[in-house]
Amino acid sequence: MSMREQFERACEVIPGGVSSPVRAFGSVGGTPVFIASAAGPRVFDTDGRAYLDLVGSWGPALLGHAHPDVVAAVQAAAARGLSFGAPTLAEVELAELIRTRVPAAEKVRFVSTGTEATMTAIRLARGATQRPLIVKFAGCYHGHSDGLLAAAGSGLATAGQPGSAGVTAAAAAQTLVLPYNDTTALAAAFDRHGDRIAAVITEPAAANMGVVPPAPGFNAALRQITAKHGALLIFDEVLTGFRVGPAGWWGLENTAAELDPDLFTFGKVVGGGMPLAALGGPAAVMDLLAPLGPVYQAGTLSGNPLATAAGIATLTLADDAVYASVDAAAARLSTSVGAALEAAGVPHRVQHAGSLFSVFWGEAPAAEPVRNYAQAQAQDPRRYQAFFHAMLEGGVALPPSAFEAWFLSAAHDDEALTGIEAVLPQAAEAAARVRPEPRPVPVTPPKAAKGMVSLVGGGPGDPGLLTLAGADCLAEADVVLYDHLAPYESLQLARPGAELVDVGKLPRGEFTPQEDINRLLIEHARAGKRVVRFKGGDVFVFGRGGEEWEACNAAGIPVQIIPGVTSATSAPGLAGIPVTHRGLSQGFTVVSAHVGPESPRSTLNWEALATNATTLVVLMGVKTLPEVCAGLVSRGMDASTPAAIIHKAASPDMGVVRGTVSTLAQLAAEAGITAPAITVIGAVAGLDLA
Ligand code: SAH
């Protein structure tokens, strides 16, 4: 069977033909190679063709594939029984080996995959702190549990999707995503949410967006700020642990006990190629796990005897000589790759973190080092596609994505490295033949201009609901005036050095009067700045957009409106409630209930609203909710009409209360709903499409 036929057969019974997405070659194109066996530095496909391997099973194969002593240890363990579901001495021995290398991991719990390890670490951090939020860095990959998929690297870096379907807005909202290596953004997040952050999880050297080492002092800054705010620091060393050195990245960087993280996660090398992972940390934290503590975690196959045997054999064999040889192989190969690309004139940058390295392709990374995910994504992956296939053709298997590290092993001896180097020139030539990526044409002409005010709306709370035009404008602004309903995370789009002014509150905590906002807009524009007034929702929906527009006009300041997604549709949408739905509602009406139906100041025809059979979306109506609901029923609305109220949509505190128009006010009061909130009344409020 050809590779193509095998892949087609696989696709019949396995989604995409693979058990893990990157293996499908989606980002490099072509048909994945089916592997039949592996030994030392090589893998062999089902046709018996050998490849010098730089994937190393994505990390575990530190000693090379199928090291005879590791295989023998697993065979011996298998003969004694495959799984007991009871404690074993092998687990104890492996935990002791880990602790000897990483004394900061005083106690260790074994699980089966890195995903489980990080998931458990997060739960443990939340249990220890009684706080909800997790901070992660864009481009760091911590496995595929719900809260950790936001802006993750690895397979998601090339999947063309920002996260994953099936992750609820509520779960995603518990994760704050910050740019890697940016202590300013970190400090801002802690200033704002510090008392609700359970943990910061990081790859102490990032290697799932390509290899991006921590800036000097970044990990120490993480430690200091988490300690100051009582949050835990989690070092995810699934990839780096026991690979970049005997004690992982911690061992390379560790300078003082007070800089130790509170938790580590390990995987890959620690299981020697078997499904095994671990989390570890000080006893005071680890003992919060069941059965000693209240944080539950369990697994039939956890600490499996075959996996622990492979882990023990691997760690025992991985002595200083092994690490020295992997380091030397990485130094040699990365130099050869750089030289070959240089000779062929391919713009690129090679980055290292210990023995891990990867190549970033194209002009942007060639111009400056890659420090974060945005910069990593500015590379031109088409160069890598050409390079990858030329290497494969020449008998070298590279990771099928430009966003992965290249993995070496102690089995990559001089012969193997020479074999790889022999193929580099032709692959570099293939990459050189790729024409530079055409620059994307901006979709929207309006941009911030000097001396001009742009009123930019963005969906409340959710950076994904900002329009492209709004994002462009924000990126060019000199001054951004924002308030608490603006999608706060999107402020990251502002260029470094832009002045960010919170006009929701003045420094002493008072509300900024509208006149002051108008005055600030005009003053900054007069000073020749590009001014953006950044609002949550749509500029014109019950906001002060009209007033600001008039004020600028009156002062002779050019002003433009960049509409945003209004909370009137997005907040219900985030809660899984469509404001119309074929067959249920053929229209919707958005009203403000800052005054209710019984107030003489109301200008609305509440009789018509009660009986017009479309969806009613009520903004600014928390205080008046009882009056609104009762008023609608007394004016003819069916008392059993479904109704729902959505509170703080897209924020970590988002909440939804559902009932009917006759019960909602009471239920909302019981649930403690406060402004801002949005009420949806009508048949659609009975749906939940989230
Ligand atoms: N121009 C904005 C609305 C401004 S009026 C827009 O189009 O979205 C302010 C009202 O909007 C609030 O009282 C509340 O009813 C609603 N609102 C804004 N952001 C919200 C959020 N994140 N969650 C729930 N309601 C919100």
Quick one: which atom of ligand 1 is closest to the CA of 459?
8
Residues 324 and 268 in one domain: no
Q: Could you tell me if the CB of 649 is within 6 A of ligand 1?
A: yes
Residues 554 and 416 in one domain: no
Is residue 82 in some structural domain?
Answer: no
Residue 373 has pLDDT above 90, yes or no: yes
Q: Which two three-digit tokens encode residue 457?
A: 């709306």
The residue from 565, 585, 609 where one domain ends is: 565
Residues 550 and 589 in one domain: no
Of 232, 275, 260, nearest in space to 116 by CA: 275
- Residue 195's pLDDT band, with cuts at 50, 70 and 90, is very high
Residues 561 and 549 in one domain: yes
Q: Which range (55-69, 74-88, 197-211, 528-542) has the least confidence? A: 528-542
CB of 282 within 8 A of CB of 247?
no
Q: Could you tell me if the CB of 648 is within 6 A of ligand 1?
A: yes
Q: Could you tell me if the CB of 680 is within 6 A of ligand 1?
A: no
Q: Could you tell me if the CB of 669 is within 6 A of ligand 1?
A: no
Q: Which residues pair with 535 in a beta bridge?
A: 457
Task: Point out the residues that are catalytic.
Answer: 483, 505
**Which residues span the domain enclosing 524?**
452-565
Residues 409 and 468 in one domain: no
Instruction: Residue 259: give its domain's CATH number.
Output: 3.40.640.10
- Residue 290's pLDDT band, with cuts at 50, 70 and 90, is very high
The residue from 264, 287, 317 where one domain ends is: 317
Quick one: which atom of ligand 1 is closest to the CA of 675?
13
Instruction: Give the 3-state secondary structure of residue 537.
Output: coil
- The pLDDT tens digits for 481-507 are 998 777 778 888 899 899 999 888 765
> How many angstroms does the Cα of residue 619 sit away from the middle of ligand 1?
6
Q: Which residues pair with 356 in a beta bridge?
A: 353
Residues 313 and 180 in one domain: yes
> How many angstroms does the Cα of residue 590 sit away from the middle of ligand 1?
11
Is residue 110 in some structural domain?
Answer: yes
Instruction: Residue 605: give its domain's CATH number.
Output: 3.30.950.10
- Residue 172's pLDDT band, with cuts at 50, 70 and 90, is confident
Whose alpha carbon is nearest atom 11 of ligand 1?
619
Residues 552 and 581 in one domain: no
Q: Could you tell me if the CB of 201 is within 6 A of ligand 1?
A: no
- The pLDDT tens digits for 378-396 are 999 899 999 999 999 999 9
Of 259, 100, 419, nearest in space to 108 by CA: 100
Rounded average pLDDT over 536-561? 91
Rounded average pLDDT over 10-23? 93
Quick one: which atom of ligand 1 is closest to the CA of 545?
1
Q: Could you tell me if the CB of 678 is within 6 A of ligand 1?
A: yes
Residues 272 and 153 in one domain: yes
Domain count for the chain, please give it: 4
> How many angstroms does the Cα of residue 184 sit away from the middle of ligand 1?
29
Phi-psi region of 232 (alpha: psi -120 to 50; beta: other; left: phi over 0): beta
First vs last C-alpha separation in the chain: 44
Is residue 546 in some structural domain?
Answer: yes
What distances in angstroms separate CA 457 from CA 474, 590, 619, one per listed residue?
10, 17, 17
Torsion 498-504-508-514 (CA) sign: positive
Q: Could you tell me if the CB of 538 is within 6 A of ligand 1?
A: yes
Is residue 74 in some structural domain?
Answer: no
Residues 619 and 553 in one domain: no
Q: Could you tell me if the CB of 349 is within 6 A of ligand 1?
A: no
Q: What is the mean pLDDT of the chain?
A: 93
> How many angstroms does the Cα of residue 538 sit away from the middle of ligand 1?
9
Is residue 70 in some structural domain?
Answer: no
- If one residue of 485, 540, 591, 624 were mutated to test the ligand 1 pocket, choosing by the most ligand atoms within 8 A of its CB, it would be 485
Is residue 538 in some structural domain?
Answer: yes
DSSP secondary structure letters along 165-207: TT--HHHHTTEEEE-TT-HHHHHHHHHHHGGGEEEEEE-SSB-
pLDDT of residue 161: 45
pLDDT of residue 488: 78
Quick one: which atom of ligand 1 is closest to the CA of 621?
15
Cα distance between residue 274 and residue 270, in whole Å: 9
Q: Could you tell me if the CB of 318 is within 6 A of ligand 1?
A: no
Quick one: which atom of ligand 1 is closest to the CA of 485?
19
> How many angstroms does the Cα of residue 536 sit away from the middle of ligand 1?
7
Residues 387 and 502 in one domain: no
- Residue 157's pLDDT band, with cuts at 50, 70 and 90, is low
Q: Which range (83-92, 403-412, 542-551, 666-675) has the least confidence? A: 542-551
pLDDT of residue 690: 82
Quick one: which atom of ligand 1 is closest to the CA of 461?
22
> How many angstroms does the Cα of residue 617 sit away from the middle of ligand 1?
11
**Prior bond of 369 cis (ω within 30°):** no
Residue 273 has pLDDT above 50, yes or no: yes
Which residue has 């190969």 as its token pair? 333
The residue from 525, 542, 565 where one domain ends is: 565
Residue 460 has pLDDT above 90, yes or no: no
Residues 401 and 456 in one domain: no
Instruction: Residue 541: give its domain's CATH number.
Output: 3.40.1010.10
Rounded average pLDDT over 535-561? 91
- The pLDDT tens digits for 73-89 are 999 999 999 999 999 99
Residue 152 has pLDDT above 70, yes or no: no
Q: Could you tell me if the CB of 541 is within 6 A of ligand 1?
A: yes
Is residue 664 in some structural domain?
Answer: yes
- Residue 549's pLDDT band, with cuts at 50, 70 and 90, is very high
- Residue 155's pLDDT band, with cuts at 50, 70 and 90, is low
Percentage of the residues of the chain whose pLDDT score is greater than 70: 96
- The pLDDT tens digits for 98-138 are 999 999 999 999 999 999 999 999 999 999 999 999 999 99
Is residue 446 in some structural domain?
Answer: no
Residues 103 and 132 in one domain: yes
> How many angstroms does the Cα of residue 569 sit away from the middle of ligand 1?
10
**How do beta strands 531-536 and 559-562 pair?**
unpaired
